[in-house]
Each structure stands twice: as C-alpha cells, then as structure tokens.
Chains A and B, each alone.
Chain A
C-alpha cells in the first residue's frame, strides 16, 4: 500500500 509507505502526517 503506497499510502502507508509514505506517512504524510506529522
């Protein structure tokens, strides 16, 4: 899952 590989939250 790409969303999880890139954690966009702080």
Chain B
C-alpha cells in the first residue's frame, strides 16, 4: 500500500458517499444517471467475487463490502425510493452498447481463461467506460449541479491516483498489470474534458454548464 493507492481509495469512497448523501439529503436523484450506477454495481459485483474465495486483508475486505453496499443502495434509491425524481428522459445511453462488446473483449483479452479472472477483466474494462451514461446525460442537459460535479471529480481523480500508484509499484515492486493500466488510462482520459471544466468553472464558484 502506497500513498497514491490509499488516496485513490479514499477519493473513490468519498465520491460514492457524496453521491449517496446528495440523493438522500435532497430526496432527489435529478441529474444522476441510473444507468451509470447500474454499471458500477455490475463492476463491483463482478470484480469482488473474490471476497468469497480469497482473503487479502481486513482493509481490502472492508472497502469492498462498503463499495458494493453503497453501490446497491444508490441503485435502490434511484430506481425505487426516489424513483419519481429520476430523470429517465435524459438518461438514454444504451447500456448494451457497452456491456456486450466489453463482455466479448474480456473473453478475448485476459490474463487467464478462468471464470473469476474473466469476470475480473470484464469489471476492469466496464469500469473504464461506466461513467459514459452520466457524462452523456450532463452533455445532453448541458449542466450539472455543483454537488454532482464534486462527485464526478472525486470519481475521476481516483483512477488518476491509481495510475500514479501503478507507476510507483512498477519501480518499487516490479509489479504491473497491463489490463488494469490500459483500462485505467482510458478511464482517466474520459474525465479530462470534465476535469478542465471543473477546474475552470466549479472551483471558481460557478455552476458547471456547457456552452450551447
């Protein structure tokens, strides 16, 4: 465990909690893509199946359980508890356009052709693009609430910090996982445009709105 990885995990946790609290306290999931949240629930479920087979550390297990639990709680709030506030008209990204090609890719490009390994690979590839329905929704409506922007920033920052963790691990331990690195790069690049808007607008106290 190095500082980049810890900071990445904390950033990830913060993003998940910001989103949960935003929905819970405003009693509304307006502006949030339920589809991205379903994809994230699928990411955590397929990646953390090793909870049942492998014990890595107390920290590892605890974080996994929190991520999965919060992820399902978020989906439940969007599709059940606060369903009336869910903006489905603007959440029109087709999930199958991501899930099907990624399922195929994870069968073709993986470290080992074994069920758990393929599901892990699927989760890594899917995570890299799972935010697309949310970004699509923001670009469609042309704006995002400030709290939603904070959520997106923390979520994007997490993988960027993991990239630094992988550079660190390569030099410190000789460890590298090409699947995770390439997917992590793709994931971080998808956020770059948003990072730019966040820094130039939200951090200066303005609401995130896109030029018409």
Cβ < 8 Å to A, chain B residues 1-20? 5, 9, 12
Minimum CB–CB distance from B127 to chain A (whole Å) comes to: 11
Assuming A9-B180, A10-B63, A10-B67, is B111 touching A4 (CB within 8 A)? yes
A contact face: mostly helix, strand, loop, or mixed: loop
B118 to chain A, nearest CB (A): 13
Tell me the chain B residues, 46-82 only, with Cβ under 8 Å from chain A: 47, 50, 54, 56-57, 60, 63-64, 67
Q: Interface size bucket, B side?
A: 20 to 34
Contact between B56 and A6, CB atoms less than 8 A apart:
yes
Say if the beta carbon of B193 comes within 8 Å of chain A. Answer: no
Query: Given A6-B56, A9-B180, A10-B12, 15 other A-B contacts at CB below 8 A?
Result: A3-B177, A4-B111, A4-B117, A4-B177, A5-B112, A5-B117, A6-B50, A6-B54, A8-B56, A8-B57, A8-B60, A9-B5, A9-B162, A9-B165, A10-B67
Which 7 residue pairs are nearest across A and B when measured between Cβ atoms? A4-B111, A8-B56, A10-B63, A10-B9, A6-B54, A7-B120, A3-B175
